[in-house]
């Protein structure tokens, strides 16, 4: 770890402690809980008051946080973007398997491809940024659906044009619901030639700071390369990647 500035470290310790006490704390309480002399705590609190992070209740003389930290956090969150947050991670994921990586978001009953990291293979995917595909028969779409509530999933299913793109496409709702249960259990979804013959995809959801599904990423390739035996290995790496992107977006699940 690099050099730690003592005064900054102490100040942040006070802020972190105070975040647990909405009614505030007195100087003696703060001093005892973080092991600092009362004069040091008082000096640091005066600075925090000056900068607008802390106020002192005139009735109780206790110190408590203002919403300034919340405002700062919101500025960061407002500038977050799943595409920007994912770039470095999806590039690394592509290099791990030399297979195409997709990033998608949901739009009504479809997923929309908003990024594609192309692999250097002779057999390449026909997908492109801006392409739409159904939620119900893609790995990324199923990964998103698995974390929506049952009523919303049912509505999406009823408003989708459910048809067989291949012999593997799931078109029975009860079977589909069981598939979503399985996805939640294992943490990833597989499109086993359900949307396109000869193509297998492994998808994982990406979550935002609200704990909601923001989108999904996948590794896709021809079944001769993305074999059934490799699915779990690929899934583990896609989950790691999705988790890193989710953390960039503020997810702390």
Are both 67 and 120 inside the same structural domain? no
Residue 31 lies in a domain: yes
Instruction: Out of 48, 76, 104, pick the residue that ends a domain.
Output: 76
Burial of 70 (0-12, 13-18, 19+ CB in 10 A): exposed
Are both 119 and 132 inside the same structural domain? yes
Band (72; pLDDT cuts 50, 70, 90): confident
Residue 184 lies in a domain: yes
CATH number, domain of 28, equals 1.10.10.10
Are both 54 and 125 inside the same structural domain? no
Residue 1 lies in a domain: no
Residue 122 lies in a domain: yes
CATH number, domain of 151, equals 3.30.450.40
Band (253; pLDDT cuts 50, 70, 90): confident
Q: Kindly report the pTM of this predicted structure.
A: 0.70
Are both 87 and 202 inside the same structural domain? yes
Q: What is the residue range of 114's domain?
A: 80-248
* 3-class SS letters over the chain: CCCCCHHHHHHHHHHHHHCCCCCCECHHHHHHHHCCCHHHHHHHHHHHHHCCCEEECCCCCCEEECCHHHHHHHHHHHCCCHHHHHHHHHHHHHHHHCCEEEEEEEECCEEEEEEEECCCCCCCCCCCCCCEEECCCCHHHHHHHCCCCHHHHHHHHHCCCCCCCCCCCCCCHHHHHHHHHHHHHHCCEEEECCCCCCEEEEEEEEECCCCCEEEEEEEEEECCCCCHHHHHHHHHHHHHHHHHHHHHCCCCC
Are both 107 and 39 inside the same structural domain? no
The overall average pLDDT reported for the chain is 91
Domain count, the chain: 2
Residue 39 lies in a domain: yes
Instruction: Out of 59, 76, 93, pick the residue that ends a domain.
Output: 76
Are both 239 and 114 inside the same structural domain? yes
Are both 38 and 94 inside the same structural domain? no
Lowest mean pLDDT among 68-82, 195-209, 219-233: 68-82
Are both 119 and 58 inside the same structural domain? no
Are both 50 and 94 inside the same structural domain? no
Q: What does the pLDDT look like over 37-57, one tens digit per residue?
A: 999 999 999 999 999 999 999
Q: What does the pLDDT look like over 97-154, one tens digit per residue?
A: 999 999 999 988 999 898 899 887 655 556 678 788 999 999 999 999 999 999 999 9
Instruction: Out of 76, 91, 123, pick the residue that ends a domain.
Output: 76
Are both 62 and 136 inside the same structural domain? no
Are both 201 and 220 inside the same structural domain? yes
Band (22; pLDDT cuts 50, 70, 90): confident
Q: For residue 103, what pLDDT is reported?
A: 94
Are both 115 and 129 inside the same structural domain? yes
Residue 253 lies in a domain: no
């Amino acid at each position: 770890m690099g050099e730690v500035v003592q005064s900054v470290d102490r100040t942040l310790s006070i802020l972190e402690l105070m975040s647990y006490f909405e009614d505030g704390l007195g100087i003696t309480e703060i001093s005892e809980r973080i092991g600092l002399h009362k004069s040091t705590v008082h000096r640091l609190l005066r600075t925090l008051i000056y900068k607008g992070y802390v106020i002192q209740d005139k009735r109780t003389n206790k110190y408590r946080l203002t919403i300034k930290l919340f405002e700062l956090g919101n500025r960061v969150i407002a500038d977050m973007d799943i595409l920007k947050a994912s770039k470095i991670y999806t590039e690394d994921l592509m290099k791990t398997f030399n297979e195409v990586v997709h990033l998608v978001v949901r739009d009504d009953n479809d997923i929309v491809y908003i990024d594609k990291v192309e692999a250097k293979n002779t057999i390449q995917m026909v997908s492109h940024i801006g392409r739409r595909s159904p939620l119900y028969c893609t790995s990324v779409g199923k990964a998103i659906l698995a974390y929506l509530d049952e009523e919303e999933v049912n509505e999406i299913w009823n408003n989708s044009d459910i048809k067989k793109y291949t012999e593997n496409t799931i078109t029975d709702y009860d079977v589909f619901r069981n598939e979503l249960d399985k996805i939640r259990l294992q943490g990833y979804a597989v499109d086993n030639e359900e949307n396109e013959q000869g193509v297998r995809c492994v998808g994982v959801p990406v979550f935002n700071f609200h704990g909601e599904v923001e989108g999904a990423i996948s590794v896709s390739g021809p079944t001769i390369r993305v074999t059934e035996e490799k699915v779990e290995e690929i899934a583990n790496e896609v989950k790691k990647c999705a988790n890193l992107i989710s953390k960039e977006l503020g997810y702390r699940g």
